[in-house]
Amino acid sequence: MCGRFGFYELKYFLDLLRQLELPFEENQDYPQTNRYNIPPETDILTLQANHGAYKLTSARWGLIPYWSKELPKIRPINARSESLVSKPYYRHLVGRNHCLIPASGFYEWERIDGKKKQPWYIHRADGLPMAFAGLWDTWKSKHTEEPAITTCTIITTVANEQIAPLHDRMPVILESENWKRWLEADPRNLSKMLVPADNGILEMYQVSTLVNNARYQSGNCIEQVE
């Protein structure tokens, strides 16, 4: 799964989008500061697509489907790749509202002696920012005049050999050559992309248990500890 991540490479990510010739409309509502410990229910940066111009904008992490009559108590931060078509929460978005969610790395926790939770930081071995496959939607309450909310979820798949000792799931990490394919949302290509990252693409190391507190946001979140 993916329940916490960091993103502190905005300029690098934007440069990559331009190098890959992925033109986008920029909405300056997105977070532009370095963030090292991003929790659910937070506004995060997304590159959204819906068979038109790509839009770089923020979305709240925790999906609310447009058809929900009330603000749901369950707002999934992760969507299992195997059930995207079968689950009502997601199936209306498959082939339509796809997005990239940029990240510098993400955290996973190892249980030690059944009690202690040791966080690990996982990032690309080549030093590049990663992009998670995601889905987005927009919801508006029918009972208030509050503005519409755009939300998103990160798609997960089975863990590869590196991540499996920590958790049986991992986010779908798209290689840059698949970014446009994912955004174009061609149903014929989806199953080929929603797979675990190849072994060796990622590196991981232990970090301070201060990361366990979602309010802790210092840059030393990603520093390796013994």
User: Annotated catalytic sites, by residue?
Assistant: 2, 108
52 vs 65: CA distance, rounded Å: 20
| Exposure class string for 14-45: b at 16+ Cβ within 10 A, else e | bebbeeeebebeeeeebeeeebbbbebebbbb
Task: Count Cβ atoms below 10 Å from residue 200 Cβ, excluding itself.
Answer: 10
180 vs 20: CA distance, rounded Å: 9
Supply 79's token pair: 């969507």
89 vs 179: CA distance, rounded Å: 23
223 vs 213: CA distance, rounded Å: 15
Report CA-CA distances (Å) from 35 to 7, 218, 225. Answer: 5, 8, 20
Task: Count Cβ atoms below 10 Å from residue 117 Cβ, excluding itself.
Answer: 11
76 vs 65: CA distance, rounded Å: 10
